[in-house]
Structure 1
Amino acid sequence: MFAWLWAVAVVLHLLYLSNSYAAFSSLSADHVVHLLLGIAALALLVRPRSLALLAAVCALTPVTAWFEAPRLGNHWLLASLVAVVFISAMAIGALSKTRDISGAVLRDALPAARLIFLVVYGFCAFAKFNSSFVDPTASCANFYLNEVARSVGLSQFNSIGTSGWMHLVPWIAMAIETGVVVLLLVRHTRVLGVIVALVFHGIIAFDTAHAFSDFSSVIAALAILFLPDTFFLSFTPWLRKPGLHIAGLFVALVSAVLLVWQSTDSGRLSVSTLGHGRDWLWWIVWAVLTAAVIGWSVRTHMLRSDIELLPAHKTMLVLPALAFLIGCGPYLELRVGTSWNMYANLQTANGSSNSFVIPVTAEFTNYQNDRVRITATKDSGLQQYIDSGYELPFVNLRGYTSTHYDTSITYERNGMTTTVEHTRDDPTLGRELPWWERKVIVFRALDATEPVACQNTMLSAR
């Protein structure tokens, strides 16, 4: 079941990528790798019991993440860490005397994946404990609640403001996310934690203005790993029925059609239709999965789950530790983008933070001290910073201008105004960054106002 849901998550991720990754239109390395991942995911949908296909999907996932960086979603970085866990466990099993790959997956990969999920989800919840997130005039919670409401037809609904009930929205979101972590940590409440996570992220994915089903599908696939073995055993007879197999093949067929459609279409004619197909694919999978988990729990009165959280080989703890280090990045100012702090209104820069818990940051780097404000440009991507009023670290600007088409720009930096007519000819803006600054040291735009606004999209210079 996990492998099948993981394949669905991969398909949804590929469907949310822009046409720059339309693999059928180019033979560049990044396009080919994404194409191979799509083929492997479709094959895994048809044969979810195949360890070889799961290994192929897991091997390709971090490679695609590298190509997508620095414009990399948190869900795909999470998926990449989990994928490396599975590949590592399979390697341990293959190199063991017994060559027990399946056993290694059960003993090492699943516990390590659960730990990574707890670390990542914990940081996501923790990041929201800040002064801007609890402000209903700026909170991402209120912003996305509005989008969900309008997506389901409540066009007059508005939760952004100063009314008393509006203040509750951020705190409810914080309570739910924190509650999921606590419930999953306690063996007596783990099934309830899975249900809360599935329902919460399922509701979020009804937002058609801002696609969340790629993130929600990764959460769902990892959340079910906290269910007890009895859940999966109870559905084993159903999984062998021809009708369910046909339904699985239908999902694979629909996924294939959508992927081919996205990869061959220019995007001008079918964006809306493709989006509807993508959304409905996830909503149906989510509804069936959530109903199955809730129905099983109600029927068996089971909330307890005695799954393992620690892998048998302690070397497998390296990946959860890396997930923890990534989460610490904003508070150390090592990196801010793709650091388990999305949709949280969190801002950590210049030694300070709006966090309730960690108001002071350790300035391990000074990238965010050197920032610019763009005042004029002919580039549509950089125009976003003028429209929003955001500042950005100079390293972000360099990363963008050195890899994009030549343009003109006027910006303020350290109190001085500079105009560059041709960015590709400029000795600084036109020089490509080293790979660690381009791919790993990732920062976000900075809001100089209070409260810090919800950055509801990934801006261009990332």
Structure 2
Amino acid sequence: MTADAIPFWNIGRGKATNIRELAYSYDGLTAFTPFWAMAAIFSIAGDTYGLIGYKGQIYMALAWAIVLFSLLLFLYPRRTWVLVALAGATVALFALRLPVASNNKTITAVMDGAILLSAAVLYLRAGRGPIDRVALYDQVRIVARALLAIMYFYGIFHKINTDFLDPTVSCAVGLYVPLARPFGLEDNLFGRYLAIYATFIIEGIAIISLYWKRYFAVGFILALVFHYIIPISAYSWYMDFSSLVFALYVLSIPKPASHMLYGISLKVANRLRENYGRIGTIFPGLALMLIAAAIVMLLTLVFPERSFEMVVHSVWILVWAVVGGAAMVVLTYVALENLPCENVAAPRAPAWIYVVPGLFFLSCLSPYVGLKTESSINMFSNLHTEAGRTNHLLFTKPPYLFDYQNEVVKVVDSSKEFWVRQSQAGNHHILHDLKLWLRWKPEAWVTYEKDGAIVTRATAASLADEMPNLLERKLLIFKLVDFSRPKVCTH
């Protein structure tokens, strides 16, 4: 019998007992795909306005395609074409969104790009035949491990600055305070410093453990706990980031651990399939969503002043608390059962597979060379590199290769009130971003100060010769510039 024999719908028909008799062979991709589907759903769930068509019909179609392919991946985890379709839809939506500030969406797009590239190469090598799932797994897991290592490396490197180490403004403290407040410890100086330096320690251990396979569980478990907790702080929409990290770890863990995870997942899935058919694998998630929504809606009766965004955020935090918690427990069990882990030699990977993480590593240097200050794994780092100045402890001034960050302006007046409000709040802008906005809104105008000179009522027409080209429009995005010191954590 094959997996195709599993009925799609089996409610009210008695148990399909023959499901347990199916002959399944270990498949590392099948252990990974439910986690990848979960990460995709947590990511798109945070884009409520995109899902309801506020950002355009093409955007909405791609967003719902991601939802559809994610659900299909839960139902058919062995269907390679579903994984490829999800990767394709995600990359297409990322391209439509560009420029993208989100680090986790950038990492996801890089991983999905690697999946598409590897699948395409294997498809062509097979003479346009079925893709070798074992080879695909062996290739993309190299990228996943490298992306985690790059993420943790820059998570440390970007934070080596005076303001991240300052307990009054550090982004680590921004995460610590909501978690410590219920215990009255939010102002505890020791707790604040502990949050700062624990960030370096945890991320450092995580990097080492990624490549020290025998004792991978040490850093793995620390990372699981860390990434499980941060979304619960409600400081930001962290569920997508944490679920992404969980999924990348599932690809990165040694094969004996992956094999055990596969066995556990198969037992759970088969019990649901026996009772409800293939559709049963998504029933627990749907039930959890309904319960979480009901709890939050009841709470809105007590706190009716809460915004729609907060209501949505609260529902998904509850979902993450259960789903992320269950995933953390299972993955921790798998890790401990494989400690120390036997090192299984992996087949030699083609050299081109390292190009993807290599390019991503270089792109994360962009703040220091004068390029983008968003989407460079510098989230919540307090890093500042604009106007030829930096708070980084390893540079007296950033080694610019490009001048974008030197063009810092102060908005004086504008037809767009939010520019004025940002300026009145003490923020400056990178001129590139103002030009980009003017191009999108040709009727808008802005008066700004640059290098002591006032430019009056600049428009897309008056700056036509200076407008960003296609690559600049798609690849460059900058944070607001705040020259106050110490630099308060923003994002």
TM-score range, shorter chain: 0.7 to 0.9
Q: Distance in 2 between matches of 1:217 and 1:309?
A: 26
Offset at 1:31? 2.5
Counterparts in 2 of 1:17 and 1:159: CA distance versus 1, 3 Å:
farther
Following superposition, the deviation at residue 92 of structure 1 comes to 2.0
- Looking at structure 2, the residues matched to 196 and 146 of structure 1 have their Cα atoms a distance apart, in angstroms, of 20
Match of 2:168 among 137, 151, 162: 137
> Does the 8 Å CA contact 1:112/1:310 hold for their aligned counterparts?
no
Q: In structure 2, what is the Cα distance between the partners aligned to 1:37 and 1:256?
A: 18
Cα contact 1:62–1:84 (8 A) shared by 2 = yes
Matches within 5 A, 1:62-81: 62-81=91-110
Mapped contact 1:142–1:159 kept (Cα < 8 A):
no
Matched, 1:223 2:258: no
Alpha-carbon distance, 1:257 to partner = 8.2
SS at match of 1:391: strand
The AA in structure 1 aligned to 2:226 is F
Give the CA deviation at 1:415: 0.8
Residue 353 of structure 1 aligns to a residue whose secondary structure is coil
Q: Which TM-score applies when normalising by structure 1?
A: 0.86
Match in the other structure for 2:22: none
Q: What amino acid maps onto 1:228 in structure 2?
A: P
- 2:476 corresponds, among 430, 441, 447, to 441
- Partners of 1:253 and 1:413 in 2: how far apart? 54
Offset of 1:376 from its aligned partner?
3.8
Q: Kindly indicate whether residue 307 of structure 2 is the aligned counterpart of residue 250 of structure 1.
A: no
Q: Quick one: which amino acid aligns to residue 112 of structure 2?
A: A
Establish whether residue 2 from structure 1 lines up as the match of residue 32 from structure 2: yes
Deviation at 1:132, TM superposition (A): 1.1
Distance in 2 of aligned mates of 1:67 and 1:311:
35
Paired residue for 1:385, among 408, 418, 422? 422
For residue 353 of structure 1, what is the aligned residue in structure 2? 390
What RMSD in Å do the two structures reach over aligned CA positions?
Answer: 3.1
Q: Write the deviation string for residues 326-357 of structure 1: whole angstroms up to 9, x where unpaired.
A: 11111222322101111101112344432223
Task: Provide the C-alpha distance between the structure 1 equivalents of 2:160 and 2:342, rounded to a whole number of angstroms.
Answer: 29
Q: What is the aligned partner in structure 2 of residue 265 from structure 1? A: none
| Structure 1: distance between partners of 2:281 and 2:416 | 45
Paired residues of 1:112 and 1:309 also in contact (CA < 8 A): no
Counterpart CA distance in 1 for 2:206 and 2:171 is 19
The 5 A counterparts of 1:245-324 are 248-251=281-284, 253=286, 270-298=308-336, 300=337, 302-304=339-341, 306=343, 312-324=349-361
1:83 aligns with one of 73, 98, 112: 112
Question: Counterpart of 2:364 in 1: which secondary structure?
Answer: helix
Q: 1:328 aligns with which of 360, 365, 381?
A: 365
What SS does structure 2 have at the residue aligned with 1:433?
coil
Q: Is the 8 A contact 1:92 1:104 kept in 2?
A: no
Deviations along 1:56-113, one digit per CA (max 9) or x if unpaired, are 0111212111222224310011011111111111122212248552122122111122
One-letter amino acid of the structure 2 residue matched with residue 8 of structure 1: M
Distance, in Å, in 1 between the alignment partners of 2:284 and 2:448 is 49
SS at match of 1:61: helix
Find the counterpart in structure 1 of residue 149 from structure 2: 118
What's 2:226 paired with? 200
Displacement after TM superposition at 1:305 (Å): 6.1
Q: Deviation digits for residues 149-204 of structure 1, max 9, x if unmatched?
A: 45xx45x54248xx455333311212211221122222232122221111101111
**One-letter code aligned to 1:451:** P
Shift of 1:42: 1.9
Q: CA deviation at 1:126?
A: 1.4
Which residue does the alignment assign to 2:236? 210
SS in 2 for 1:402: helix
For residues 35 and 331 of structure 1, the distance between their equivalents in structure 2, rounded to whole angstroms, comes to 37
Residue 234 to residue 185, structure 1, CA distance change in 2 (3 Å): closer
Indicate which of 414, 431, 434 corresponds to 1:394: 431
- Distance in 2 separating the partners of 1:290 and 1:147: 22
Q: Secondary structure at the match of 1:34?
A: helix
The AA in structure 2 aligned to 1:304 is: C
CA deviation after TM superposition for structure 1 residue 28, in Å: 3.1
Contact 2:289/2:315, CA 8 A, preserved across alignment = no
> Structure 1: which 5+ residue stretches go unaligned?
259-267, 457-462
Q: Is the 8 A contact 1:411 1:417 kept in 2?
A: yes
Tell me whether 1:43 sits opposite 2:72 in the alignment.
yes
Long gaps (5+) in structure 2: 1-30, 292-305
The one-letter code sitting in structure 1 at the alignment partner of 2:175 is Y
- Counterpart of 1:158 (choices 171, 183, 186) is 186
State whether residues 397 and 429 of structure 1, in contact with CA within 8 Å, keep that contact through their aligned partners in structure 2.
no
SS in 2 for 1:283: helix
The count of corresponding residues between Structure 1 and Structure 2 is 440
TM-score, normalised relative to structure 2: 0.81
Preserved CA contact (<8 Å) 1:145 1:159: no
Deviation at 1:391, TM superposition (A): 1.3
Q: Identity percentage over the alignment?
A: 21
Matched-pair contact (CA < 8 Å) for 1:332–1:364: yes
Between the aligned partners of 2:363 and 2:470, the Cα distance in structure 1 is 17
Amino acid at match of 2:94: A
